[in-house]
Structure 1
Amino acid sequence: MPIAIALILLALGSVLFHFLSPWYFTPIASNWDTIDGTIAITFWVTGIVFVAVSGFMAWAVIRYRYRKHARAAYEPENKKLEWRLLIVTAVGVAAMLAPGLLVWAKFVTVPEDAAVVEVVAQQWHWSYRLPGQDGKLGTIDSRFVSTENPFGMNANDERGRDDVLVASPELHLPLGKPVKLLLRSKDVLHNFAIAEIRVKMDLVPGMVTYAWFTPTRTGSFDLLCQELCGIGHFAMRGRIVVDEPAAYQAWLQRQATYAQASARPAGDVAAGKALYAACAACHGANGEGNVAVNAPKLSGQGGWYLERQLRHFKQGARGTNEKDAFGKMMAPMAATLADDKAMADVVAYIASLPDTPAAGTLKGNADNGRQRFQTCAACHGANAQGNAATNAPRLKGMSDWYLATQLKNFRTGVRGHDPQDIYGGQMALFAGMLGDDAAIADVLAYINSR
């Protein structure tokens, strides 16, 4: 009897939890309400079967419970029962599969007027490519992929000259217009998934998959990789922003084309030297840094990273948090660089400075830090040399006291909280793995030993 009661309570509790639970699908933001309907049908079919089976088991436990002089009847076959079960099962399976097949037929049939966007995935980053004025994407090839050409653009294809390249994990889309996503991976298996849009599709190395949808409401929606793609899988996040058409066009106009990116002149060292004079007061004449004024070492750091941080300071993605006192000091200094050309010039001059490794100032256990650094090495490199492909700056030979401060800032939310600082948001997740200051010191001690 207790087992029968438990079975009944389990079935009843499951049904009540389903209907009364506050946790359910996020509000939909696309045309794929049919996917929700299909899942609802599956819930009803499996729910009815679950209740029926649980109820039958409870009835059987009571009906056929042990009786001292009872004898079981031997019945090896019951064709009538088998046919009934076969028909009921077939109807249930068909009820679940048929709607899914109909939805899938729509899912693979892209509207003719759908805009095309290419989504590129790599460990652990999203980027995008949109056609330019000609409405066509240029050809790409994995042989052409490099730090300077992360999309693998074919320089000989004139159709790609006006392609819009979005290196940020944030993609904007216009409201109410269908869009076809061409999905490709540069390394391993990834998965493109947006809960509110109800889109989920694998990105398979060596082939191009696709999905489509029509955004039905404005807003910002998290893009997640839902395929285990390596040690940094949990931090592979992006964002899809659905705008009104006018706002979308304004965003699109701000993005660089392949031709513009290719024609961008290299920084001028001579011009950068004059601009760097203001920086030298804190960071040192040779970019060696100065702990007394909380200015980190700059020489030897990747130029792409320095430019990104200067841009973040200018845009307010860094240096606006009330607890980031030193970041707030840097923000007005970055504002003195009028444009991208000025930033490129300063970075070019910094690249010309002698790269003398900063002396270690922290005491930690390098042996303990070795194990913790394995997670960091996936992005920053085995020797902490940095990797532009994973948007991870150089750590080796840089100011360890500054790195310690930034890890604490990431861990406490002082840095990486701004929506514009997507890579900072990723780093905040990793920094959370370092539970205390001793763990940070151990990791930095290991980096100093490389």
Structure 2
Amino acid sequence: MLIVVALVLIVLGSIVFHLLSPWWWTPIASNWDYIDDTLVITFWITGAVFAAIVLFMAYCVLKFRHRPGHKAEFDPENKRLEWWLTGVTAAGVAAMLVPGLFVWKQFVTVPEEATELEVFGQQWSWAYRLPGADGVLGTADAEWVNGENPLGVNPHDRFGKDDLIVEGGEIYLPVDQPVKLLLRSIDVLHNFYVPEFRAKMDMVPGMVTYIWFTPTRTGNFEVLCAEYCGTAHPFMRGYVTVVEAEEYQEWLQEQLTFEEYASNARAAQPVQLAEN
């Protein structure tokens, strides 16, 4: 009986804890509430299965406990039970997978009006590149990375000369405007993750991956690297600041273009050499 009571208390305690728990999802700040909905569906389905299995174990312990005069019955096959278990399991798995398929289709379908923004990850910092006045990002490749060109922008691409270079780990975004993040890494695996946005994606060296989202409220949100990338991985952090459109345009005017950035870097080299 102690085992039966303990199993029942485990189920009741788990339900009460999750209903009253203060540890819940971080308040969302993007259009991806679909992801929260999918997590909730998965959570309740797996929770119901957990409760059913543990309570069934308690029932079996109680019903089939040893009692004088009772003899165990050997029944190795039960086709009816097997069909029931197969059907219920298939229905549960489908209920968890189907919503995810719809969400994934939305996740990879970028709106035409989305602004492109490149995120550049390396041990252990973030940098960004935005399209300049022409509205087009120039091409980039790891072969162009050097001291004057830390993001590897193609210096021969006319569309890249006015691209805006943002270092220091902080980027501004306008509220209620969809944005597509092009994710690049120059060294090891990284993962761009803002918990309030719910969207995250690995950054694979040699590839350009992407995610998109629409910020829905203004504020300052921390960027985390969600893929272990070396000894200073916990310190690879930055910030996304979501502001109104007017403030965003003012911030853009303060950023250096790639041409200006490279020119400043070349001008600083003789001074550094002289100091050395």
Instruction: Indicate the TM-score class for this superposition, using the shorter chain for normalisation.
Output: over 0.9
Quote the Cα distance in structure 1 between the aligned partners of 2:250 and 2:204. Answer: 33
Counterpart in 2 of 1:410? none
> Do structure 1's residue 50 and structure 2's residue 63 form an aligned pair?
no
SS of the counterpart of 1:196?
A: helix
| Offset, 1:33 | 0.6
Quote the Cα distance in structure 2 between the aligned partners of 1:77 and 1:91. Answer: 23
| Offset, 1:263 | 2.7
| Offset, 1:351 | 6.0
Given residue 9 of structure 1, which amino acid in structure 2 is its aligned partner? L
Name which one, 1 or 2, has greater alpha-carbon Rg.
Answer: 1
Counterpart in 2 of 1:223? 223
| Offset, 1:133 | 1.3
Given residue 267 of structure 2, which amino acid in structure 1 is its aligned partner? A
More strand by share: 2
SS of the counterpart of 1:111?
A: coil
Quote the Cα distance in structure 1 between the aligned partners of 2:141 and 2:86. Answer: 52
Quote the Cα distance in structure 2 between the aligned partners of 1:168 and 1:122. Answer: 12
**Aligned residue pairs: how many?**
275
Counterpart in 1 of 2:184? 184
Counterpart in 2 of 1:19? 19
| Offset, 1:151 | 0.6
- The equivalences for 1:92-103 within 5 A come to 92-103=92-103
| Offset, 1:125 | 0.6
SS of the counterpart of 1:238?
A: strand
Counterpart in 1 of 2:145? 145
Quote the Cα distance in structure 2 between the aligned partners of 1:114 and 1:202. Answer: 20
- Higher deviation after alignment, 222-231 or 64-73: 64-73
Quote the Cα distance in structure 2 between the aligned partners of 1:106 and 1:352. Answer: 55
- The equivalences for 1:151-166 within 5 A come to 151-166=151-166
| Offset, 1:163 | 0.4
Quote the Cα distance in structure 1 between the aligned partners of 2:130 and 2:121. Answer: 15
Quote the Cα distance in structure 2 between the aligned partners of 1:263 and 1:207. Answer: 28
Quote the Cα distance in structure 2 between the aligned partners of 1:142 and 1:197. Answer: 28
> Do structure 1's residue 80 and structure 2's residue 80 form an aligned pair?
yes
Given residue 45 of structure 2, which amino acid in structure 1 is its aligned partner? V
Quote the Cα distance in structure 2 between the aligned partners of 1:167 and 1:155. Answer: 18
| Offset, 1:69 | 2.5
Identity of paired residues, percent? Answer: 56
TM-score relative to the length of structure 1:
0.60
When the two chains are superposed, the root-mean-square deviation of aligned CA atoms in Å is 1.5
Which residues of structure 2 form unaligned runs of 5+?
none
> Do structure 1's residue 266 and structure 2's residue 250 form an aligned pair?
no
1:145-190: CA deviation from partner (whole Å, max 9, x where unpaired): 1122111111111110000011121010000000000011111011
TM-score relative to the length of structure 2:
0.96
Given residue 254 of structure 1, which amino acid in structure 2 is its aligned partner? E
Quote the Cα distance in structure 1 between the aligned partners of 2:154 and 2:209. Answer: 20
1:370-429: CA deviation from partner (whole Å, max 9, x where unpaired): xxxxxxxxxxxxxxxxxxxxxxxxxxxxxxxxxxxxxxxxxxxxxxxxxxxxxxxxxxxx
Which residues of structure 1 form unaligned runs of 5+?
268-302, 304-346, 356-450
Quote the Cα distance in structure 2 between the aligned partners of 1:101 and 1:180. Answer: 20
Structure 1 segments, 4+ long, off by >6 Å, are: none
1:275-312: CA deviation from partner (whole Å, max 9, x where unpaired): xxxxxxxxxxxxxxxxxxxxxxxxxxxx9xxxxxxxxx
SS of the counterpart of 1:121?
A: strand
Counterpart in 2 of 1:244? 244
Given residue 43 of structure 1, which amino acid in structure 2 is its aligned partner? F
Counterpart in 1 of 2:135? 135
